[in-house]
Amino acid sequence: MIKLMMRSVLLILTIVATVSVNAEPRTVNQAISNMRAYTTGTYFVTLASSAIVGGSPCHRTYAVNNSDAGAKTVVASLLTAYALGQNVQIEIPTAAGCTGFGTGIQSVIISPG
């Protein structure tokens, strides 16, 4: 039952995320290697590679600050993808660009593995 519910959430998130599929810059479609939450409210996600679509590589580890607007939605999307073994693309805020370890996340695109 829980797995069915998670798949339903994944489907909804995938449909919603397709609106931003062409946004730049973003990582290539890939697996999440690991995730780590800190008591400070910062949540880190590490991807399999540092590759960026059409650009220079960025660091593999990205960050979500719990105080950011939409942070809970981004973390929920990442956790869902990780639990279901789905690939993701992480969109980086265009204005900030890649800032190395802990680069901020603008959005998450979930794709079938």
Predicted TM-score of the model (pTM): 0.77
Q: Specify the CATH architecture of the domain 2-111.
A: Beta Barrel (2.40)
Top-confidence residue, 34 or 20: 34
Peptide bond preceding 112 in cis form (omega within 30 of 0): no
Residue 112's pLDDT is what? 80
Is pLDDT at 102 greater than 90 in this prediction? Answer: yes
Model confidence over 30-89: pLDDT tens digits?
A: 999 999 999 999 999 999 999 999 889 999 999 999 999 899 999 999 999 999 999 999
Domain ranges of the chain: 2-111
At 95, the pLDDT band (50, 70, 90 cuts) reads confident
**Distinct helix (H) and strand (E) counts, the chain:** 2, 6
Helices of type H across the chain: 2-17, 71-84
Is pLDDT at 107 greater than 50 in this prediction? Answer: yes
Residue 46's pLDDT is what? 98
At 1, the pLDDT band (50, 70, 90 cuts) reads low
